[in-house]
Amino acid sequence: MVGRESGDEAGMKQGGLLSSGRLAAVPVLMLPVVLGALWLALAPAAVPPRVLVIAGTVAVAWYLLGGMIAGRRLLDQLSVARQVRAARVTLADEPGCAWIVDSEGAIRGQSAPAGRLRDLTGRDAAALLAGHRANPAAAAAALLARVADGRPVQLPLGDGLILDARRIPDSTLQFWRIETPQPEPAATAAGIGLDYRTVPIALLDLDPDGHVLTTNLAAEALLGPIAPGTFLGDLLEGPGRPLGDWLAEVREGRDTGRGEVLQTRTGDVERALQVTLASSPGIDRIVAVLTDVSALKTLEAQFVQSQKMQAIGQLAGGIAHDFNNLLTAITGHCDLLMLRRDNTDPDYADLHQISQNANRAAALVRQLLAFSRKQTLSPEIIDLRHVLSDLSHLLNRLVGERIIVTVTNDPSLRPIRADGRQFEQVLINLAVNARDAMPKGGEIAIRSENVRLRTGLTLEGASIPQGEYVRITVSDQGCGIPPETLDKIFDPFFTTKKQGEGTGLGLSTVYGIVKQTGGYIFCTSTPGEGTIFALYFPAQRPRPAERPAPAAASPASPRSGEDHRRTVLLVEDEAPVRAFAARALRLHGFDVIEADSGERALQILSDAALRVDIFLTDVVMPGLDGPGWVRMALQAREGTRVIFMSGYMDATLSDNNMAIPNALFLPKPFSLSELVATVESHLAGSMAPARPTDGAPPDA
């Protein structure tokens, strides 16, 4: 109880008989009596006795009336004082801010929390509404009147505060209290009952220390049967905050609601669960909400893997561009040296070794490009039955005598569209992988068949749309692949072989070729039993039987009637490659004009009298690239044949540039004989061993 006086003294001072305003009423009531007595004493003798009797009676009556009124006031104030004392007993137990207000709006008492904020004892109740109403006095008077009629009133004050005012029973006093809305307590497991068990969200009801009290059916489906009292940390594990600190934050209301992704420890299937802990004030329990995010984590891992593959692919493409230029120069100059020597020359064997190792390096670059899906492919409609039949003999020699290769083809097998040479590389790599998994021997089974997917197929997180496919399976009886490494087998440079026994590019090359061809590849393996690779390629329509064409005369050279040497405009920014190509072509009777950039080539072609039969150009160069300067040159020299040289294919350049007529593509590195044969055959108008661009040339 707050106040500097107590008991009747405080009550009287705060509006009782001792109040100066109310005490003044007694002298005022006695004044007529005093005046009447003075008049009787000083009245002249001439005043009739009857008048004196009437005046005395009036004075006595007035005196008696004044005493009754003063007594009534005194009794009222004593009653109010008793009511105030009784109300202050209630204030002593009030945990919030509360006040006692009399019927005239004076604050007669306040609770301890209210007194600590501001002592308003003896003040007008309008002070409680200051800052909440524009006219606090009028608002307080209206509130007093409404409550005095016996109607409790709840007056909103803003910021969620409510002034609850009601009349104290059997009293003229009013009890005003500030209230804050309390949130509804969260339902507990016991309060929810059957609904809690059947709700389709996994819930765990925990005690404050993280031990399980109850679970629902959805949680048991994720975690299996859970005994009451099991610690949450024994069910889930993973990185993030220590569980003890997390529970303490929730208990103390410091948790921000941020969940953690944890792994399940129980059950046969490992899952990733998003776990969120929540608690409500006044309830000594914690609710754990579990959400299965395994599929999302799988998608996230696949996205990271695709980003990694893309980054390595870009790196491989950049390496291939520079490396193939070096290999072209090495191989070409080696060929030039070997032209001047025969096999009896003491240096011939060394040159042959240089050439062979350069070819091995070129094969390694091709594997990198196949993995990165930037290798130059020449897709065509092929009959796999013929390819597999021809390849089976090579595979049998490749895997050794302890291993048998069996090939089974569907008699009605549909053709596919792929690069035949690269498809053979896929099967060779898979066969070598199977051979290494069977050091004691076994069988490699290759089977081809038509399949129709009516509703699509999802395997290992990848989806194959519905349609008709040709499926090739390569199975072995080897040691199998452990589950923990199965998802890494297509990663570049990943290998389980000893150092020096493998590059880690075999399966990644297979993956790159299959994907670049538009196919799908999946692997299933059981340790100790073997591995199965399944390849799906879109089936193509069989080609109609071709009628034999009438024999045609051999194509004559476009300028067979002209006696002149053919002129080649060679554009290459790499000086060693340009030097080799120029020497090789001159040795075979061509006139060669060299340029180190596209701008220089256009400057040379500005001479209208200059006759050029063919453009031989690199694709990527500083300034104008190969396709750029060739298009500008063809505007004035329409019909000139073009050969593009490049270290790897960039499909985006091919897709985004218009077609260039009479253009071929010669992949780097190339040998002297390949260069000369390509130029001669293209000038003759026949099909060259190099691949056409199908439009704009590839990037390098």
- Domain 7-179 coded CATH 3.30.450.20: yes
Kindly report, residue by residue over 544-590, the tens digit of the pLDDT.
654 544 444 433 344 444 456 899 999 999 899 999 999 999 998 99
Is it the case that residue 637 has pLDDT exceeding 80? yes
Segments in 94-242 forming alpha helices (H): 112-117, 136-148, 189-192, 194-198, 217-223, 232-235
Q: Which CATH superfamily is domain 567-692 in?
A: Response regulator (3.40.50.2300)
The values of phi and psi at residue 236, to 5°, are -130, 150
Quote the distance between the C-alpha of residue 446 and its chain's center.
40
- Residues 405, 510, 390, CA angle at the centre, nearest 5°? 40
| Average pLDDT of the chain, as a whole number | 76
In terms of pLDDT, which residue wins out, 238 or 330? 330
pLDDT for res 192? 46
DSSP code per residue over 515-576: HHHT-EEEEEEETTTEEEEEEEEEB-PPPPPPPPPPP-PPPPPTTTT-----EEEEE-S-HH
pLDDT for res 398? 81
302-306 own/partner pairs: CB under 8 Å, 24+ apart: 302/461
- Residues 639, 644, 645, CA angle at the centre, nearest 5°? 160
Q: What is the DSSP letter of 563?
A: -
CA dist 224 and 213 (Å) reads 15
Kindly report, residue by residue over 586-606, the tens digit of the pLDDT.
998 999 999 999 999 999 999
CA dist 25 and 72 (Å) reads 12
**If one looks up domain 380-538 in CATH, what number appears?**
3.30.565.10
* Overall fold of domain 189-292: Beta-Lactamase (3.30.450)
Is residue 521 helix, strand or coil? strand
Residue span(s) of the chain under CATH 3.30.565.10 come to 380-538
Kindly report, residue by residue over 132-167, the tens digit of the pLDDT.
788 888 888 888 888 888 778 888 887 667 888 888
Residue span(s) of the chain under CATH 3.40.50.2300 come to 567-692
Q: Which CATH number fits domain 297-371: 3.40.50.720, 2.60.40.1180, 1.10.287.130, 1.10.10.1100?
A: 1.10.287.130
Residue span(s) of the chain under CATH 1.10.287.130 come to 297-371
In this predicted structure, which of 547-551, 611-615, 645-649, 693-697 has the lowest mean pLDDT?
A: 693-697
> Does residue 669 have a cis peptide bond before it, meaning omega lies within 30 degrees of 0?
yes
Is residue 237 helix, strand or coil? strand
pLDDT for res 406? 92
pLDDT for res 564? 61
Handedness of CA 33, 38, 41, 45 (dihedral sign): negative
Q: How many CB atoms lie within 10 A of CB 471?
A: 18
Kindly report, residue by residue over 110-124, the tens digit of the pLDDT.
888 888 778 888 888
Q: What is the DSSP letter of 211?
A: B
Kindly report, residue by residue over 41-68, the tens digit of the pLDDT.
665 555 666 666 666 676 666 666 666 6
pLDDT for res 616? 95
- Percent of the chain clearing pLDDT 70 (strictly above): 71
In this predicted structure, which of 208-222, 346-360, 383-397, 496-510 has the lowest mean pLDDT?
A: 496-510
Residue span(s) of the chain under CATH 3.30.450.20 come to 7-179, 189-292
pLDDT for res 73? 60
